[in-house]
Amino acid sequence: MGQPVREYLLTLCVTAAVTYLLTGPVRKFAIAAGAMPEIRARDVHREPTPRLGGIAMFGGLCAGLLVASHLTNLKSVFENSNEPRALLSGAALIWILGVLDDKWGVDALVKLGGQMIAAGVMVLQGLTILWIPIPGVGTVSLTPMQGTLLTVALVVITINAVNFVDGLDGLASGMVCIAAAAFFMYAYRMWFGYGIEAAAPATLFSVVLMGMCLGFLPHNMHPARIFMGDSGSMLIGLVMAAGAVSVTGQVDPDLLNVKAGGLREATHAMVPVYIPLLLPLTVIAVPVADLVLAIVRRTWQGQSPFAADRGHLHHRLLEIGHSHSRAVLIMYFWSALIAFGAVAYSVNNASMWIVLGIVLLSAVGLVLLLLPRFTPRTPRWAEWMVPPRYRRAAHATAPAAETDGESAAEPEEEREPVPAGINGATAIGDRSRFVEHRRAGSHR
């Protein structure tokens, strides 16, 4: 088992390294190509930022699959299955569509049609849902038409869920990375724990997706130097959906029944992905919840479900007083709690400790959610693991509101603008004096 772990780790590192190294040149290309749209009313960033980060992520995807195809254990995935080729075909189509949208803009219905075409291409190459395990009924085989419709629906839902949540620096890539890590743990256990080889493609897809997100995150953390754009958000959404379809629709529940030792054990093992339509709800529950709420909200107001607004969950976190970084961390927390909680429950759903742990962490999350003015303090031994703004020395030397804008008392949306003409080394000092001047004037 040690050899496959090393191969997965190598694939992860190569994918992350290629994505990271490509992002810098891609940023320069995006600026030269003019892929820097004007700031819209719903945006939270203050300066035009280049998009097209999905180009680097697609390069990481190709590099990861290429390396995996030459490794001793992972190359069997390419020899015994056509799913990696199906994923690459669908990813290429959705990536091209995203690049066009980042540069020139594409109508929402055209994007929806492109997403369906990309999903259909994957179905034609064998990446489709074949059956559904239903409690009390057993395994229900799907007709080709039913499998195609269900697969396309799952892919489109997941793509748009990730696309909708991509509203803050580092939010979408971080949340998808967390979901991919949890999904990798589940798929890896299915393959090597139960010996089910059909779970191998989903395991590979998850580790490649983790590498894509980890390689892009350093460039995308607040303040972001580049956005992934639709070329990136739709791409990682499609890769996530491909893993969901693979492990849910291709793993035979009857085989799992034999491997797990009985119907009851097999049912417990399939808890996180028992029904394909529930998979996004357990692995990326927060983005899907945001998607559903956005559709209901816009439809209720008489708008198109695809009309952009400032009513997403991350926008509401900013409105109640959370800073940009803290809103992202809260979304990370809830995504990790739901994703890893589902995986832990599938391993041992008879343990009350797991349920109590999830309840306790949920209570902690609610406290952090309702206390936007709480400033976290990191223990000294762990300061090297967190950004400078959360270190004790940073709080002792300078107020956060005048240095990096992360003070809880002054949310991101209410920061004072920098006067025209500020640049160079004097920007920070001038900003501080400007803020003090404005505040002094407000008390007169």
Tell me what pLDDT residue 14 has.
97
The whole-number pLDDT of residue 155 equals 93
pLDDT at 434 > cutoff 50: no
- Interval 195-201 mean pLDDT: 83
Given a cut of 80, is residue 125 above it in pLDDT?
yes
Of 265 and 353, more confident: 353
Q: What is the pLDDT of residue 427?
A: 41
Does the structure show a pLDDT above 60 at 412?
A: no
> How much is the average pLDDT of 220-230?
88
Average pLDDT for the chain: 76
Name the nearest CA neighbour of 205 among 181, 229, 224, 228.
181
**Residue 396 predicted with pLDDT over 70:** no
pLDDT (mean) for 180-202: 84
DSSP assignments along 105-165, one per residue: ---HHHHHHHHHHHHHHHHHTT-S--EEEETTTEEEEPPHHHHHHHHHHHHHHHHHHHHHH
Confidence (pLDDT) at 141: 83
Alpha-carbon gap, residue 239 to 90, rounded angstroms: 9
pLDDT of residue 64: 96
Cα 11 to the center of its chain, rounded Å: 19
CB 410 within 8 Å of CB 432: no
Specify the 3-state DSSP secondary structure of 247. Answer: helix
257-267 mean pLDDT: 52
The predicted model gives 398-421 an average pLDDT of 39
C-alpha separations of 444 from 254, 419, 432, 440, 441 in Å: 76, 21, 19, 7, 5
In this prediction, residue 236 carries a pLDDT of: 95
Taking residues 204-232, report their average pLDDT. 92
Q: Look at residue 311 in the predicted model and tell me its pLDDT.
A: 60
Residue 236: closest CA among 10, 443, 41, 57: 57
Of residues 185 and 344, more confidence is placed in 185
Residue 376 pLDDT grade (very low, low, confident, very high; cuts 50, 70, 90): low
Q: pLDDT tier at 257 (50, 70, 90 boundaries)?
A: low
- pLDDT exceeds cutoff 50 at 153: yes
Q: Who wins on pLDDT, 281 or 143?
A: 143
Grade residue 410 by pLDDT with cuts at 50, 70 and 90: very low
Task: Considering only residues 120 and 260, tell me which one the structure prediction assigns the higher pLDDT.
Answer: 120
Position 407 pLDDT exceeds 70: no
Q: What is the mean pLDDT of residues 16-36?
A: 93
Residue, of 219 and 282, whose pLDDT is higher: 219
Whole-angstrom distance, CA of residue 44 vs CA of residue 163: 16
Cβ proximity of 22 and 145 under 8 Å: no
Structure tokens at 321: 């007083």
SS3 348: coil
Question: Across residues 231-255, what is the average pLDDT?
Answer: 83
**In the structure, what pLDDT confidence band is assigned to residue 408 with cuts at 50, 70 and 90?**
very low
User: What does the pLDDT read at residue 101?
Assistant: 92
Residues 42-89: pLDDT tens digits? 555 557 789 899 999 999 999 999 999 999 889 999 998 899 999 999
Most confident listed range (86-90, 223-227, 248-252, 437-441): 86-90
* High-pLDDT (> 70) share of the chain, %: 65
Check residue 279 and give its pLDDT: 47
- The band of 26, judged by pLDDT with boundaries at 50, 70 and 90, is very high
pLDDT at 348 over 90: no
Amino acid 308: pLDDT? 63
pLDDT of residue 27: 94
